[in-house]
Amino acid sequence: MKIDVRTVGAFEENCYLVVDEASGRAVLVDPGDEGSRLVEMVKASGATLDAIWLTHAHLDHIGAINTVRAAYAVPVHLHPLDLPLYETLSAYSARMYGVPWDQPDAVPVPFAGGDVLSCGALQFTVMHVPGHAPGHVSFNGPGVSLSGDLLFAGSVGRTDIPLADPSAMDASLERFATLSAATHVYPGHGPATTIGKELETNPFLSGRARTIKR
């Protein structure tokens, strides 16, 4: 497995290309902006793109979908609880922030927590981890997790935004913390980390911050 990253857009969001090197198949996770750069990343990999997977549907994670799909007519997969963000609210947020917006025109293919998605021979389990967004998920594969805006190195996703839920975030972090300490976490913003490192240094994942808050 190879995971390539491009940090894109005003929000410095991480878009990941996951490649099963044995089969040459790939998926693109959270194409948020700068679609031409993401298309070039796919082309440079030499892999065949099979799908776009979305951890959630905030504007900085979906803004380049149309550009990517103009080059690769692949399906977009999203948890249905994030459809309001995908269809309406992200466009509103773009207007509020004053950033250009290209409304995705693909009808998403739904998935649910516990589903298994394939990238070539690689398998990823969908973990529904709401809090930052109602339909937020992580994609947990062999030794890795693409965590979106659930967990960052030293921090977690915001819960002071529309449709966020702090209590749901707490419960999601408690579940996420049960992954193997060796799991490499690829977040929606910032550098990669591991579950073990975050349990040692990140009070939001270890529960120390939640205990203090309560």
Which three-class secondary structure state does DSSP give residue 36?
Answer: helix
Domain at 15, CATH number: 3.60.15.10
CA dist 31 and 208 (Å) reads: 33
* Torsion angles phi and psi, residue 148, rounded to 5: 55, -135
In the numeric block, which tokens belong to residue 149?
A: 């805006």
CA dist 89 and 181 (Å) reads: 35
In the numeric block, which tokens belong to residue 154?
A: 């030293």
Find the domain containing 19 and state its range: 2-213
The pLDDT score that the predictor gives to residue 206 is 87
Contact criterion met (CB below 8 Å) for 24 and 48: yes
Q: Taking the chain, what is the end-to-end CA distance rounded to the nearest angstrom?
A: 41
Q: pLDDT of the chain along its 214 residues, tens only?
A: 999 999 999 999 999 999 999 999 999 999 999 999 999 999 999 999 999 999 999 999 999 999 999 999 999 999 999 999 999 999 999 998 999 999 999 999 999 999 999 999 999 999 999 999 999 999 999 999 999 999 999 999 999 999 999 999 999 999 999 999 999 999 999 999 999 999 999 999 988 765 544 4
Q: How many domains does the chain have?
A: 1
pTM exceeds 0.85 for this model: yes
Which three-class secondary structure state does DSSP give residue 12?
Answer: coil
Which three-class secondary structure state does DSSP give residue 105?
Answer: coil
Q: How far is C-alpha 130 from the geometric centre of its chain's CA atoms?
A: 12
Q: Exposure pattern of 178-195 as b/e (b: 16+ CB <10 Å)?
A: ebeeebbbbbbbeebbbb
Which three-class secondary structure state does DSSP give residue 82?
Answer: helix
